[in-house]
Homo-oligomer: A and B are copies of this chain.
Amino acid sequence: MTKQDKRHDILRAALELFAEQGFHGAPMALIAERAGVGAGTIYRYFENRDILIRDLFNELEEDILPFIMDGYSDKAPFRARFIHLGSRLLRYFIQNPLHFRYLEQFHNSPFGVAHRRDKILGNEGKNTVFKELFEQGAEQQVLKDLPLPMLIALAFGPLLAVARDHILGFFHLDEDLVLKTIEACWDTVKR
């Protein structure tokens, strides 16, 4: 087993436990056990618990981006691009429910709030595809005349709510409902 395998095992165990039990219910010893390593071993790969949590988030983010960008063309009409990104994202969540549950936990924590504050207010170089899309939409007056961060909240709100309830089993999203969900998101923000 290589070094990267072990790191991956730890991240996987952490993902599962955090997603299933929440941050509370996943002590380091349990993560170690599920990963099949000694408790101290985790600290060779992650400086401490907080950094494990943040690194896991970064891994997931990096996993999502290529998935949603697959087949994406910036030449396509605005609405088509919106639908593409939204439906890819929703499908990613449906295919990776643990990832979704983890990301929800992360966002609903001091880490997550700080992260979103940086992202929304700041100007990072990375992962700006959504931001750019919404900026264009505002410019071209195809979106409602509202502050950019509000447009983003309005568009993602229904998508995330539907993803969560699907994963919790409150209803089942088939391919048709995925599309209808994204169209509803479009209705939320389109002018």
Contact = CB atoms under 8 A, between A and B. Distances in A.
A89 to B, nearest CB: 14
A76 interface: no
A159 to B, nearest CB: 7
A154 B184 contact: yes
**Residue of A105, A144, A164, A184 contacting most chain B CB atoms (<10 Å):** A184
Contact of A121 (B146, B161, B170): B170
Contacts of A23: 24
Given A108-B108, A158-B157, A187-B188, A149 B121 contact: no
Q: Assembly of this chain: how many copies?
A: 4
A23 to B, nearest CB: 8
Interface of A is mostly: helix
Interface string A146-170: 1101100111111111101100101
A171 B105 CA distance: 23
A188 B182 CA distance: 10
23 contacts: A22-B110, A25-B110, A113-B168, A117-B168, A120-B170, A144-B180, A144-B184, A146-B184, A147-B177, A149-B165, A150-B171, A150-B181, A153-B158, A153-B161, A154-B158, A154-B181, A156-B161, A157-B158, A157-B159, A157-B160, A160-B161, A184-B189, A187-B190
Interface of A: 22-25, 104-105, 108-110, 113, 116-117, 120-121, 144, 146-147, 149-150, 153-162, 164-165, 168, 170-171, 177, 180-181, 184-185, 187-190
